[in-house]
Structure 1
Amino acid sequence: MGKKRVLCFGDSLTWGFDPYKKVRMEDGDRWTGVLQKHLGSDYLVIEEGHNGRTIATDDPAEGEKNGLKYVIPCIESQSPLDLMIILLGANDLKRKFQYTSMDIAGEMQIFLEKVQSHNRFRMEDSMKVLLISPPIIGACGEGSWLSDCFDFERCSKVSLELSNWYKQLSEMYGCMFLDAAKVCAVSSADGVHLDIKNQRYLGEAVYRKLKDEGFC
């Protein structure tokens, strides 16, 4: 019997952007690496983090960032898959989009519809899905190099509202759910990204969730 394959589909929080050094963290410091360590050798954690990735919005200023356009090719290329973990929504909070929490939830509904339709009709419903709502973006870090891009006062309010929407969507589409804001916090260094300690907190929380749900 082969390893269980776990796809982690996200943005810079999954890629492992270091808020202090502004480079990618080491493998074992990212939440995906923490999860791999806890799951052990019978599992393969596949990292699909992309800086700037949105849920379903084109970003002309930053290039190919639309997660909706890439997700099915990604699933197909990484199949077979036992689990997909989705952590998206932080970049949809950017000032230039001016989205409400309902707007972002609407994007995520379209995203999950696409994923779960593919799962049911092409994969015989064999892939479990864990949906994670992002931590509170802009709760700290005022004056950082990202504060203008994200309009911290507004996006902290909007991101605070996302967990309730995501929870409803997870129930609607048969997903497991985790609220990242309850287990980790963004760094005051930039107000958006997780430091090494909080990457670890998130990875450990994901592992506990999967254990509680009977996946491992």
Structure 2
Amino acid sequence: MKLWCFGDSNTYGYDPCGFFGGRYAAPWPELLVEKTGFQVINDGKNGRMIPEREHEFLQFHRDAERYSADALIVMLGTNDLLEGATVGAAAARMEALLNRCDMPLVLLISPPPMVRGAWVPDDGLVEESKNLARQYEALANRLGLPYVDADTWDITLAYDGVHFTEEGHVRFAEGLASCLEGIL
């Protein structure tokens, strides 16, 4: 089984305490390999937002062909909210992406909600990030896709209120491995 993990800095494994965009030694996609034995492609990019422009969709399709994965795991939306998008706009962008996705299996994951921290100065953004899970769940139900709310895995976030800690990556990989057992 080959899994394509399409996400942002929390998929990449960004270490907010490291210098110059440092990365944890074992972000969740790498830990998922250990837990499942699957081939896992970590396609996380710092700052990635949900694709919405034609050239972004074209790149997504080129990557899908290049990776030729059996399943897509997508977790995006945090950066969209940080950049001022509403929950509704983020969900609409995700729907447009998923409607253009031609993969045998797609698992939609809502990111853990943000908490107050260096990057999250107010409770409004925290509440918006909590609402994203409800929107994604409704979207997955409409499209008939498997869905999971990463908030159920008790992911610990770093001082910035956005990025996973090392322990958060471990918990995420454990939760996802268990989830995949039920889906695959």
TM-score higher than 0.5: yes
Q: Structure 1 stretches (4+) deviating beyond 3 angstroms? A: 66-69
For the Cα contact (< 8 Å) 2:156–2:167, is it kept in 1? no
Q: Deviations over 1:75-131 (max 9, x none)?
A: 01101x21110010010012xx4222111111111011011xx33xxxxxxx21110
Structure 2 counterpart of 1:6, one-letter code: L
- 3-state SS of paired residue (2:100): helix
What residue is the counterpart of 2:30 in the other structure?
A: 33
**One of 2, 7, 23 as aligned partner of 2:4:** 7
What residue is the counterpart of 1:52 in the other structure?
A: 47
Change (3 A) 1:184 1:21: farther
1:1-216 alignment to 2 at 5 Å?
4-22=1-19, 23-26=22-25, 29-40=26-37, 43-57=38-52, 68-79=57-68, 81-94=69-82, 97-115=83-101, 118-119=102-103, 127-137=104-114, 139-141=115-117, 144=118, 146-147=119-120, 151-213=121-183, 215=184
Structure 1 residue 185 displacement after superposition: 3.2
Counterpart Cα distance in 2 of 1:54 and 1:98: 11
For the Cα contact (< 8 Å) 1:55–1:67, is it kept in 2? no
- 3-state SS of paired residue (1:36): helix
Q: How many residues align?
A: 181
Change (3 A) 1:92 1:165: same
Unaligned runs of 5+ in 1: 59-65, 120-126
Q: Deviations over 1:138-161 (max 9, x none)?
A: x132xx2x34xxx54222111100
Cα RMSD of the aligned pairs, angstroms, is 1.8
Counterpart Cα distance in 2 of 1:186 and 1:107: 27
For the Cα contact (< 8 Å) 1:8–1:86, is it kept in 2? yes
Change (3 A) 1:130 1:171: same
For the Cα contact (< 8 Å) 1:135–1:186, is it kept in 2? no
Structure 1 residue 181 displacement after superposition: 1.4
Counterpart Cα distance in 2 of 1:51 and 1:69: 20
Q: Tell me the percent identity.
A: 30
**Larger Rg belongs to:** 1
Counterpart Cα distance in 1 of 2:60 and 2:106: 13
Unaligned runs of 5+ in 2: none
After TM superposition, the score normalised by the length of structure 1 is 0.78
